[in-house]
């Protein structure tokens, strides 16, 4: 990606398995991992290793994404790859474990939404 070349699925599968294994190892303590599990198949690969995983999709306007990417310095992924990432994106489906959050939403607000969702899931 640092060379401006999008990843292929073959590039992603080992990494997605590693993400799933890392989440599974932290199942009792909890862990937040930020990653671009863009397609349902990618999320399913993570769930295969860590079935209690819950996804949070940030639904950010393209213009905001572009602006943020252009402001960051020294990041491995250039802004020129944004279009390929968005072309790969499959939004979180209603039957997938997680929520979609639209901005403006701070990290604290996202955390609160997740706490509420977890509590609701625990209700009989």
- Say how far apart CA 8 and CA 53 lie, in whole Å: 24
User: Is 4 within a domain?
Assistant: no
Question: Which tens digits make up the pLDDT trace of 6-48?
Answer: 667 788 899 999 999 999 999 998 888 888 898 999 999 999 9
Q: Please give the model's pTM, rounded to 2 decimal places.
A: 0.74
Q: Which domain holds residue 86?
A: 9-122
SS3 104: coil
Tell me how far the alpha carbon of residue 63 is from its chain's centroid.
19
User: Is 42 within a domain?
Assistant: yes
Banded pLDDT at 84 (limits 50, 70, 90): confident
Total count of domains within the chain: 1
Domain containing residue 79: CATH number: 3.40.50.300
Q: Quick one: which H or E segment has residue 58?
A: strand 55-58
Banded pLDDT at 82 (limits 50, 70, 90): low
Question: Which tens digits make up the pLDDT trace of 45-63?
Answer: 999 999 999 998 888 777 8
- Say how far apart CA 11 and CA 38 lie, in whole Å: 14
């Amino acid at each position: 990606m640092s060379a401006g070349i999008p990843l292929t699925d073959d590039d992603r599968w080992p990494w997605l398995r590693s993400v799933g294994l890392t989440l599974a190892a932290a199942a009792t303590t909890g862990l937040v991992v930020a990653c671009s599990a863009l397609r349902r198949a990618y999320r399913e690969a993570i769930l295969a290793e860590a079935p209690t995983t819950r996804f949070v999709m940030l639904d950010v306007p393209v213009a905001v994404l572009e602006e943020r990417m252009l402001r960051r310095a020294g990041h491995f992924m250039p802004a020129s790859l944004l279009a390929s990432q968005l072309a790969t994106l499959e939004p979180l489906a209603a039957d997938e474990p997680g929520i979609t959050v639209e901005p403006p939403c701070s990290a604290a607000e996202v955390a609160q939404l997740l706490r509420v969702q977890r509590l609701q899931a625990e209700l009989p």
